[in-house]
Amino acid sequence: MSLIEQAAKRLEELRRAGAEIPDAAAPQAAQARPDEVERIPTPEAAIRGLSSRSAAPAPVGPATLAPKQVAPSRSDALRARDIRRSDGLEQNRIDIDLERLKARGFVTPDAPKSQIADEFRIIKRPIIHNARRTAVSAIRNGNLIMVTSALPGEGKTFAAVNLAMSVAMELDTTVLLVDGDVAHPELPRVLGTPSSPGLLELLTTGQIDVSDAILRTNVENLSVLPAGAHHRRATELLASEQMAVVLHELATRYPDRIVIFDSPPLLPTTEARALASHMGQIVMVVAADSTRQHAVNLALATIENCEIVLMVLNKADKTDVGTYYGYYADEEPR
């Protein structure tokens, strides 16, 4: 059975089960955001797109030649696959278990008054400000922000997820959280993201579109880009020209978007340095009682071409800095 027939059959089953299938010709809701409009064709629209392509007139040629089959593009195929997988009602979407996150001490939108929420409110403010600078004071790639640290286990993923949640709670900002720790992706464990195509596929295949890989979530304004399948030349991919192209698309497609990268540690890996070379801002997490100053200095020395490096002290004794988190060094351009 062809993709079109399978999708049409699924639609018919849904109709019989009483599901409401929106009319593709109906206007989109006035408030629908451009990314939603673009990425979520109604099932009928997707099928119509495929049908019209396969019903295209056969190329002119000798009468004996059979009409040439027009293969659907890969992104059509992905959309059709999504229709089948998600019953045509939802695609590229994950539900983050917010109760579980909250129980583990993370910022969640339904607990805006918690201490951790307050701490990240302070941390995000200069980051957002820097991302929004315009004209002469604009920072190159200012809305590309990488959360890193010198060594493993200092709280990068914890800080990246919290920062993303906190920024998503802003009224006029959308956030894309990217799993940039491509060798050891942690967002699947923390947020329950599936092992679907992600950053590495965008860099290797050239076949999937950014909007095919981005996952919307149940947190308003928050989307996630998974790391993608392991690749032995990940460092070269992250440092490549294609990475610059993908990042440009991520950074510029929506003017209100802030892109936050969870990343590997700087000292033991080369991936983090490759990523850092593209960023407009770097948030360096320092574990209060364990990171040696020497390690922090070495890590800072690996960062090139980034105007803004902010330091965040994690796991600090509350009596030292007033809160668990705190800024550790200045945030002026270096």
- What residues make contact with ligand ATP under the rule CB under 6 A? 105, 149, 152-158, 181, 186, 265, 314-315, 324
Q: Which stretch binds Mg ion (CB under 5 A): 58-66, 154-162, 222-230, 279-287?
A: 154-162
To the nearest whole angstrom, how small is the minimum distance from the Cβ of residue 262 to ligand ATP?
7
CA distance 193 to 171: 25
Residue 61 binding: pick among ligand ATP, Mg ion, none (C-beta 5-8 Å cut-off by kind): none
To the nearest whole angstrom, how small is the minimum distance from the Cβ of residue 155 to Mg ion?
8
Residue 43 binding: pick among ligand ATP, Mg ion, none (C-beta 5-8 Å cut-off by kind): none
Q: Given the complex with ligand ATP, which of 11 and 311 has the nearer CB atom?
A: 311
To the nearest whole angstrom, how small is the minimum distance from the Cβ of residue 17 to Mg ion?
42
Nearest alpha carbon to residue 328 among 108, 159, 161, 109: 159
To the nearest whole angstrom, how small is the minimum distance from the Cβ of residue 189 to Mg ion?
9
CA distance readout (Å), 222 to 150, 214, 215:
27, 10, 9
Q: Given the complex with ligand ATP, which of 251 and 272 has the nearer CB atom?
A: 272
To the nearest whole angstrom, how small is the minimum distance from the Cβ of residue 106 to ligand ATP?
8
SS3 content of the chain, % helix, strand, coil (to 5): 40, 15, 45
Residue 223 binding: pick among ligand ATP, Mg ion, none (C-beta 5-8 Å cut-off by kind): none
To the nearest whole angstrom, how small is the minimum distance from the Cβ of residue 247 to ligand ATP?
21
CA distance 49 to 53: 6
Nearest alpha carbon to residue 55 among 42, 45, 69: 69
The neighbour count for residue 209, using CB atoms within 10 Å, is: 17
The alpha-helical segments, DSSP class H, found in the chain are 3-16, 34-39, 43-54, 74-85, 98-103, 115-131, 156-168, 187-191, 199-204, 210-213, 234-238, 241-252, 271-276, 293-302, 318-321
Q: Is position 186 an interface residue for Mg ion (rule: CB under 5 A)? A: yes
Computed over its alpha carbons, how large is the radius of gyration of the chain? 22
Q: Given the complex with ligand ATP, which of 15 and 100 has the nearer CB atom?
A: 100
Q: Given the complex with Mg ion, which of 43 and 198 has the nearer CB atom?
A: 198
Q: Is position 163 an interface residue for Mg ion (rule: CB under 5 A)? A: no
- Close Cβ partners of 115 (under 8 Å, ≥ 6 residues apart): 323, 324
| Residues forming the site for Mg ion (CB under 5 A) | 156-157, 186
